[in-house]
Structure 1
């Protein structure tokens, strides 16, 4: 019987790879012809985005350079006025007051949502299974409620004559609140709107944060406890580093959602009293549709988008930097293995 032996390759030389095995020089595993497949799969989504988002945006942009009022609509006349709508808007003190009001309104609500959502999410992680299920169901119901339906409920709760809130406060000893009008002043109206928005937005943060806590290895908490770490130190050194990427993304999304919130702000009091609770989306609607200055309304809406992009530029850079750091850590971990 003869035994076949294979000679070891000379030192410093790599034996030739058998044909058809292993990755190709291009790094694609030898599979050819699939370079355009991802783009082909993206075509339906891109097509729908262009039709339902891109085309209205282009139309709105063209409208912002026109002098379009009810007279032009009736006569079917197109009057181009260049950048007059933009110059009139940017030189208006009202626009900048509304912009500052929108930024403050967004900041206050986002902070309240993130704090309350984080606390409730951490509470979900510590509750038993039954209480966690009960609280989760309540959060999902609040989150799933349509904005107009939620606004109607809050209008009933804070109604001047038959509102539940006024009745409870009067029974608690605050007799002056029996017929209090919550939409009579700017601050009280914003309080009701903010309470509604926070109530509808907290479930998203809380449920997703609880899901993020389930990915934290329990061994880290055990090691921290052995090192003498208390609850705050465990949260600071174990929980928070794991939740930081989620909190960044959640803050990013909440800023977008709150800044462009329209149904809650408009339905509570239509931007009143005396247009003191108008935010930029409501201001654009009132100027465009309410006052029939459609070109001006279109210009305000596009400026709103630009302001939102400017506000979100920091979070965009932060998210991209974090993604690059994650890719670097992954590649270094693969190299070390």
Structure 2
């Protein structure tokens, strides 16, 4: 007795050709491979991040538990002193004074940056094409200027004898400002640093918020106009709900950017006068490199990271709470 294998005609049922289904094991294997593919693609980036960022951070934490001065550095000595560096830092008044100063400095700068950046971003949305392009080019140039070049320009602008700012104020009638030293006091030095930081940070906020306004449908503004809504009502009812996520993200990024700003503060006056304008990054650098207490500087930098994580985690909780309330 011979067994006949079904031919092509036997494979057709109701006019449809039956295709053989893959074995169950092979289907599950393809699903696992597809699920693991995104993680495999991320591995190179994660490996580079771990090498460039993770190892320096681990090395810094290790150094923070050592007594590392010029003697130990030259003789390649490893002297462990436990948590003495952290005890000395946290037990003194300087760290807490600088921390409070840094938080106030960050809050003032971020508030000014977000205020003026939002206003300029909304202005970009209302300008004509040529004026918008001109303003965008000016913002990009200000944003692209290297930090050290920007600090040099501001040092020239606020120079004591030949600065443009003093010359303009003298011509306007404030003759006492003709030879005023802007870096001789804590308030005036912070004023120069704040002006520079706001000037270099506004373009990022303005361009991002302008991009956010381009996603708003024009029909919404037309409907608001037909309902008789004024400028403020249109902004609060139509524009603000759309740009609110962008405001949260840019505020979060600006907090990190201003908090860790080092060259802006240090290049103007080295944290002076009398170390009254030191922020936490500058304080860590001066104690570690300037005073050659490298272990102490490493401990201060670790504490700086912890303070920044605490600030940003609180802000993230606020954002998540706002999103739950809006949804």
- The equivalent residue for 2:168 is 168
Q: Counterparts of 1:129-208 in structure 2 under 5 Å?
A: 129-208=129-208
Deviation at 1:282, TM superposition (A): 0.0
Q: For residues 56 and 33 of structure 2, what CA distance do their matches in structure 1 show? A: 36
- 8 A Cα contact 1:249 1:319, kept in partner: no
Indicate the SS of the match to 1:273. Answer: coil
1:11 — aligned with what? Answer: none
Q: CA deviation at 1:277?
A: 0.1
- Mapped to 2, the partners of 1:305 and 1:19 lie a distance apart of 59
C-alpha separation in 1, matches of 2:74 and 2:118: 53
CA distance in 2, matches of 1:309, 1:41: 28
Separation in structure 1 between the aligned mates of residue 42 and residue 308 of structure 2, nearest angstrom? 27
What TM-score results when the alignment is normalised by the length of structure 1?
A: 0.87
| Per-residue deviation, residues 261-318 of structure 1 (Å, max 9, x unmatched) | 0000000000000000000000000000000000000000000000001011122224
Q: Give the TM-score normalised by structure 2.
A: 0.89
Partners of 1:140 and 1:297 in 2: CA distance: 35
> Which position in structure 2 is the counterpart of 1:94?
94
What does residue 257 of structure 1 align with? Answer: 257
CA distance in 2, matches of 1:187, 1:324: 40
Cα pair distance change 1:210/1:261, threshold 3 Å: same
> Measured at CA, do residues 19 and 171 of structure 1 come closer, stay the same or move farther in structure 2, by a change above 3 Å?
farther
The residue that corresponds to 2:307 in the other structure is: 307
- Structure 1 CA distance, aligned partners of 2:156 and 2:124? 30
In structure 2, the CA distance between the partners of 1:226 and 1:19, relative to structure 1 (3 Å rule), is farther
Cα RMSD, aligned residues only: 2.4
Where does the alignment leave 5 or more consecutive residues of structure 2 unmatched? 1-13
Specify whether residues 66 and 172 from structure 1 end up closer, same or farther in structure 2 by C-alpha distance, changes over 3 A only. Answer: same
Which runs of structure 2 are paired with 1:1-337 in the superposition (5 Å)? 33-320=33-320
Q: 1:10 — aligned with what? A: none
Can you list the C-alpha shifts for 1:116-152, whole angstroms capped at 9, x where unaligned?
Answer: 0000000000000000000000000000011101000
- Name segments (4+ residues, structure 1) moved above 6 Å: 322-326
CA contact 1:67–1:295 (8 Å) conserved in 2 = yes
Please say if residues 248 and 315 of structure 1, whose CA atoms lie closer than 8 Å, have aligned partners that are also in contact. Answer: no
- Whole-Å separation in 2 of the counterparts to 1:235 and 1:323: 19
Q: 3-state SS of the aligned residue for 1:162?
A: coil
Aligned length: 308
If each structure's helix is expressed as a fraction of its own residues, which one has the higher value?
2
Q: Is the 8 A contact 1:156 1:164 kept in 2?
A: yes
- Give deviations 1:164-198, integer Å, cap 9, x for gaps: 11111111111111100000000000000000000
- Separation (CA, whole Å) in 1 of partners of 2:274 and 2:225: 57
Q: Distance in 1 between matches of 2:103 and 2:64?
A: 23
1:49-77 superposed Cα distances (whole Å, 9 cap, x missing partner): 01110000000000000000011112221
Where does residue 3 of structure 1 map in the other structure? none
| CA distance in structure 2 between the aligned counterparts of 1:220 and 1:314, rounded to whole angstroms | 34
Distance across 1 between alignment mates of 2:72 and 2:192: 39
Does the CA-based 8 Å contact 1:221-1:238 persist in structure 2?
A: yes
The CA distance in 1 between the partners of 2:118 and 2:77, in whole Å, is 54
In structure 1, C-alpha distance between the alignment counterparts of 2:53 and 2:199, rounded to whole Å: 29
Please state how far the C-alpha of 1:32 moved relative to its aligned partner.
Answer: 5.6
3-state SS in 2 of match to 1:131: helix
User: Gaps spanning 5+ residues in structure 1: where?
Assistant: 1-5, 7-17, 330-337
